[in-house]
Structure 1
Amino acid sequence: MANLKLFYATNRHHLGDALHPDGYGTKFSDDGMENLRFGVLTVKAADAQIKKCLKADVGPLGKGNGEKLSEYLATCAATASIDVYPESISKDIADVAQKNAKLGSLAMFEDLMCLMEASSDVLIYIHGFNVKWNEAVGGALALQLMLDNSPRRDPAQNLSVVLFSWPSDGAALPWVSYKSDRTEAAGSGGAVGRAFLKVRDFLVGLRDKARAGGRELCGQDIHLLCHSMGNFLLENALARLYDFSPGNALPRLFEHVFLCAPDLDDNALEEGKALGRINQIARQVTLYYNRHDKAMYVSDYTKGNPERLGHNGAAHPAQLHNKIHQVDCTPVVSDFTGHSYYLSGSVNADIRLSIDGRAQDDALRQRARNANLDNCWTMQVAP
């Protein structure tokens, strides 16, 4: 049996004991939608089943069925051992003003820092619509395992996935649950914005210590991957981050941001729109979309939304900031919904190459550049 470890943050309400919960539910924390708990969990899973999914043939996508692996690990997550980082903090005073405050976020950041000092990047993962807690855990662990086993990865570069799970409804009612999750995603954006601010303050503290001759910077990177409606949550998080950032620019927190099947308007990345500042928080941004994505059809037509960014890509790709590249995954995605393809095969491998610092035009990537637009790519079926 494999013991799979996962760091997480959530604004869901806990089930059972607060420090050793049985899991998390579909509602916000009892202390408010922006209340965050930080923890680490361990899931036991069968090595044979993991290897089977990692080696599975996914047709045009290639090798590695991350979606099946996610489903399997979600069942394993039902018996996960969960430990929450304890806190001692007054709710009536800002945490930065409390000399003796004990913060769960700081304890987790210190643990992650130790991993980063051992040559590990960190990838923050925000899931999408209609995802229960166990499914969120399964998705994060599958993402971790797939990226760790990518055939073209840099073996010297380790990676730790950190899950942010918001109270996605987890129901299959097409209108009611979608509207509920969109409301909860907007509310959770403030919680993610708070988390980003905590990351910013921690990084600033490390920089100041390094300048003073204390702890040296590890040289590793932090990345962000948002799936589906998780990108809508990111929109709201950037608004919160902007409100509490000095000057007129956002802090650069991430090396690479991955927007996977984003359930957003197709002009969301343009100047003046909700994600128009995303270039400020990262060195590079990559958008993955699929023209056959059934979930995007649902968002377009049954919910009355405009064309989706995850369906056809950016409305005006020539107007995108030069940090932003978009990748059409349609030729390699053949499953029924075509919505979680970032977990599998060549798309997952493409994400890993970016994490490893490979250039957008690196020969290891299975994609072709658009003849007229340098920032537009199309995934290619492996020969």
Structure 2
Amino acid sequence: TDERAEVYYATPSSGNISSWGTATNGLPAARTKFGSAVWNNRLYVVGGLDGSAASTNTVYVSPQLSSGGNITSAWSTASTSFNIARSGVTAVAYANNLYIFGGFDGTNYLSDSQYAQISASTGNAGSWNFSESLPGPLSQAEGFAANGYIYLIGGRSTATTCSPVTLVTPISANTTIASGNNPTGIGAWYATNQRYTGDRYGAGVAYNNGKAYVLGGACGSTLTYASPVTQQTTLLSQPQVAKYSIMIDTDSDVYPTKWLLNGLDNSIGASWQLKYQSMTNTTTSCTGTAMTTWGAITNFGNVTLGLPGTYTPLNGSGINTNCARFYYFSISIDSSQAYGYPDDVSRGPTITDLTLQFTADPSKRLVHGRTFTGGLQQPLDTPYYTH
């Protein structure tokens, strides 16, 4: 009976949370028993009971939170309302789309599925479409999406009826790199043959690095809390993650300036990350003592395709050597939150080229200004990127 609108946030350090703060901007109105999801650094609060304990069909969208945990500007209420007000709804975001499942409208436990596209510019949800219904009514389940599937865990079908079931459905789309985001809903639901222990609704659910976790929850007219409280399982869906590496030998020490990664991406959830390390010539060095082992790794983090990044060569102590001969790049493409596998050239994210720009050692330049890399003569007038 005490629905609230406050939002609290914390910044973990080494996995620990030492304190919580109250966000400057709370929800536009009080809510409880709502669904929630995260996409593109925005929070989504879906449905729930309002301050009068009445069911709602609203979608509240936070501003982008890329600069910290506090919410310093107002939430958006401009999303299209979904069909049938409800509490206990499950919300899942995947590949720039928002999905909702089941819930309780105050009288009936629901089994419908709906989805809407998320605006890339505003984050608001657009018009809603119905898709494949759940096998039966379900409220207060929790869910997530990964590798082209949505997973719903736990929940209840009546006030006191729960089962330790995990429901799975494939996510459908006609999305390609050329056509953009064209979701078509979800496929038929099925239950996994592995069940966790303990009937529960209202549990917490998380996905990380190929594993699903269920935490807490309870069931019954007199609540019986599930035990073991926390359980985990490894998902058997094919990981939509690819890792690549390349080593470049410039034949002699050179002075690197920039690197550039180009590729194809449908811009709906793939994460591109890059690391690099380098080493000077093993016999003579352009600076200090020659290196015989790789230098410190620079973790650049998330990459924007087509945007050059600065290359800083480091020795094993993390000191800038200014020059190097050997360059090692490691690239990871995580498409677990997008349509398509890496290297699916029509649908998934794909690398086209990786370029290293450098100033050559003057003693290794030819009279016409060209250099050799890996035994290949490099053109003088070919730019390393184009606008």
Same fold (TM over 0.5): no
Question: Whose Rg is larger?
Answer: 2
In terms of fraction of residues, the more helix-rich structure is 1
> What TM-score do you get using the length of structure 1 for normalisation?
0.26
> What TM-score do you get using the length of structure 2 for normalisation?
0.26
Higher relative contact order (CA 8 A, sep 6+): 1
